[in-house]
């Protein structure tokens, strides 16, 4: 076989997901130029791209690097990308009718694919320059998607806050990267992994980098943009932001803490404990008093992110496995909750918690689906959310920090109250219940996929074992 062919095969294998997304982007640009206006055709092509990614995901992933060792792919990274695309596909299922009615569907697809490409590149980054460019490729399209519904004032406000927050986070990240380069002379992750915490300048550089990801994950005190952006954006975009974008940010933060700054563990452990406590406490307290479902889920997601970084504090293979496992479970749980809210909002325009009083009497399948999602988010057995929270708390307990573990357990009871408040509302009687929501095949598919994942993944032991094996081989 010619040398040129031998060189291109690893490139095609390691970057297969990115190449499919890039090719799809170019295709939609061409279709835009030739003025193809059939939304159904565009969505069919988008689903075809999604299916191609999933099919190639089952090909045994290769491990290797590209572009002067700035890009890396292995089994764990491929696993994370696959689940992000599964989440994206479920979002398309729940919002099929909404997408068919969109006048700006080209803009939605192109921006969404650009954001997905950025997240994929982010997960494969082995150099801070590529990581920064990937973050920008993700943040700018998402900020633009927030103002997709141009006629709504709330959308303009959401987009503005998202842009300013992203710009601020980018500035902080660049400052931290610049300091780290001045201290080490390199931006390669492998070179930085041997760096010692020798001065306060090292600590400052790391804290700035951590703060940038705290913005992306809505960790307190960098959470102030979250509720307004969630409420003002179209619920489809809110779902993508809450599930796909945050999952990708959690995966890369885990990699940075464990693989890039292992020698900074005494610093980031204490930092994580403080931030986790503030995030869970603020998220829970503010979630209790919310009446709008989008703002409720905003503060709910803030609290969930606090638990995720609590699992990161373990600094062990078990901690990394627990975080990755919980993020996948959180994705399915959050998707079904957002999906039901999206179906109701797009048909009735109702987005208040009180609107769901008596919901069960006209919409039994949706009510049970929403209840299962909320129960999983609350961490109640037998859902997978219980096993996810249990593994996170077990990992956090490995450091023998008794007060921290007690705090995590007590706040689980607080979250139980506000999640069950919605469940109680649905099954109560009401004089004016919401109308019957008609479900298409795509929405039913999304519902059944999420319910099956929530109820089965907790009991399928090989799923967690597979994650542990991937973490050990990483």
Average of per-residue pLDDT values in the chain: 87
pLDDT at residue 211, as a whole number: 92
- Percent of all residues in the chain with a pLDDT value above 70, rounded to a whole number: 97
Most confident of 99-103, 276-280, 409-413: 276-280
CA distance linking residue 229 with residue 234, whole number of Å:
9
**Burial degree of 317 (CB within 10 A; 0-12, 13-18, 19+):** middle
- pLDDT, average across residues 321-337: 93
- pLDDT, average across residues 136-152: 83
The Cβ of residue 255 has, within 10 Å, a number of other Cβ atoms equal to: 22
Q: Residue 4: is its pLDDT beyond 60?
A: no
pLDDT at residue 334, as a whole number: 93
Q: Residue 1: is its pLDDT beyond 50?
A: no
pLDDT at residue 6, as a whole number: 47
- pLDDT, average across residues 408-434: 85
CA distance linking residue 278 with residue 284, whole number of Å:
10
Of 325, 319, 320, 367, the closest CA to residue 343 belongs to 367
At 150, the pLDDT band (50, 70, 90 cuts) reads low
Of 67, 109, 58, 73, the closest CA to residue 88 belongs to 109
CA distance linking residue 250 with residue 144, whole number of Å:
22
The single residue listed with the structure tokens 């010692």 is 196
The single residue listed with the structure tokens 């699992």 is 311
Token code pair at residue 325: 């496992």
Cα radius of gyration rounded to whole Å, the chain: 22
> CA separation (Å) from 357 to 407, 422, 431, 436, 437?
32, 8, 9, 13, 15
CA distance linking residue 327 with residue 85, whole number of Å:
14
Domain extents in the chain: 3-473
Whether the CA torsion 424, 428, 431, 435 is positive or negative: it is positive
Token code pair at residue 181: 């380069």
How do residues 362-372 score in pLDDT, each as one tens digit? 888 998 999 99
pLDDT at residue 61, as a whole number: 66
Which residue has better confidence, 7 or 195?
A: 195
Q: Residue 268: is its pLDDT beyond 70?
A: yes
How do residues 465-474 score in pLDDT, each as one tens digit? 889 999 887 7
At 305, the pLDDT band (50, 70, 90 cuts) reads very high
How do residues 238-252 score in pLDDT, each as one tens digit? 899 989 999 999 999
What one-character-per-residue DSSP string does 49-62 give? HHHHHHHHHTSPPP
Supply φ then ψ for residue 102, to 5 degrees. -75, 130
Residue ranges in 218-264 assigned as alpha helix (H): 226-232, 235-240, 246-255
CA distance linking residue 324 with residue 440, whole number of Å:
32
How do residues 14-27 score in pLDDT, each as one tens digit? 888 888 899 989 99
pLDDT at residue 115, as a whole number: 93
pLDDT at residue 409, as a whole number: 87
Q: For the chain, how long is the longest CA-to-CA vector?
A: 75
Which residue has better confidence, 402 or 120?
A: 120
CA distance linking residue 462 with residue 449, whole number of Å:
19
CA distance linking residue 115 with residue 113, whole number of Å:
5
Q: Are 236 and 342 in contact (CB under 8 A)?
A: yes
Token code pair at residue 33: 């130029």
What one-character-per-residue DSSP string does 148-191 give? -STT-HHHHHHHHHHHHHHHHHHHHHHHHHHHHHHHHS--BHHH
- Prediction pTM value: 0.92
How do residues 87-137 score in pLDDT, each as one tens digit? 999 999 898 888 888 888 888 889 999 999 999 999 999 999 999 999 999
Torsion-angle region of 358 (φ positive above 0: left; ψ -120 to 50: alpha; else: beta): left
- pLDDT, average across residues 217-232: 88
pLDDT at residue 7, as a whole number: 58
- Percent of all residues in the chain with a pLDDT value above 90, rounded to a whole number: 35
The single residue listed with the structure tokens 């600094």 is 315
Q: Which helix (H) or strand (E) holds 75?
A: helix 75-94
Q: Residue 60: is its pLDDT beyond 90?
A: no
């Amino acid at each position: 076989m010619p040398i040129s062919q031998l060189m291109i095969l690893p490139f095609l294998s390691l970057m297969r997901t990115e190449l499919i997304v890039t090719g799809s982007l170019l295709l939609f640009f061409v279709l835009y130029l030739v003025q193809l206006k059939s939304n159904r055709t565009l969505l069919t092509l988008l689903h075809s791209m999604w299916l191609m990614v999933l099919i190639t995901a089952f090909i045994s992933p290769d491990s290797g690097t590209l572009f002067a060792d700035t890009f890396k792919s292995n089994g764990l990274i491929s696993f994370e990308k696959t689940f992000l695309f599964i989440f994206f596909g479920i979002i398309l299922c729940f919002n099929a009718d909404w997408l068919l009615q969109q006048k700006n569907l080209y803009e939605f697809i192109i921006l969404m694919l650009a954001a997905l490409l950025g997240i994929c590149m982010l997960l494969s980054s082995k150099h801070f320059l590529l990581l920064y460019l990937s973050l920008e490729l993700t943040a700018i399209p998402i900020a633009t998607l927030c103002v997709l519904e141009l006629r709504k004032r709330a959308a303009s406000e959401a987009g503005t806050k998202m842009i300013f927050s992203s710009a601020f986070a980018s500035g902080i990240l660049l400052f931290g990267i610049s300091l780290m380069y001045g201290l080490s002379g390199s931006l390669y992750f492998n070179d930085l992994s041997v760096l010692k915490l020798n001065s306060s300048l090292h600590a400052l550089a790391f804290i700035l980098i951590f703060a940038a990801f705290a913005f992306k994950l809505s960790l307190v005190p960098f959470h102030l943009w979250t509720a307004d952006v969630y409420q003002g954006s179209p619920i489809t975009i809110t779902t993508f932001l809450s599930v796909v974008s945050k999952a990708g940010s959690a995966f890369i933060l885990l990699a940075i803490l464990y693989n890039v700054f292992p020698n900074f563990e005494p610093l980031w452990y204490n930092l994580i404990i403080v931030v986790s406590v503030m995030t869970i406490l603020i998220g829970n307290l503010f979630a209790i008093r919310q009446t709008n479902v989008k703002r409720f889920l905003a503060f709910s997601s803030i609290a969930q992110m606090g638990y995720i970084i609590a699992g990161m504090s373990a600094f062990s293979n078990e901690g990394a496995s627990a975080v990755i496992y919980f993020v996948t479970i959180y994705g399915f749980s959050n998707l079904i909750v957002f999906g039901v809210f999206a179906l109701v909002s797009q048909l009735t325009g109702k987005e208040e918690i009180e609107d769901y009083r008596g919901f069960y009497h006209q919409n039994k399948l949706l009510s049970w689906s929403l209840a299962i999602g909320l129960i999983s988010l609350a961490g109640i057995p037998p859902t997978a959310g219980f096993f996810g929270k249990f593994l996170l708390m077990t990992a956090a307990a490995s450091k023998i920090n008794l007060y921290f573990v007690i705090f995590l357990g007590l706040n689980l009871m607080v979250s139980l109250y506000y999640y069950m408040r919605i469940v109680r509302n649905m099954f109560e009687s009401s004089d004016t219940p919401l109308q019957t929501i008609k479900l298409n095949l795509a929405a039913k598919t999304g519902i059944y996929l999420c319910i099956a994942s929530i109820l089965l993944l907790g009991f399928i032991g090989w799923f967690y074992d597979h994650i542990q094996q991937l973490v050990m081989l990483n």
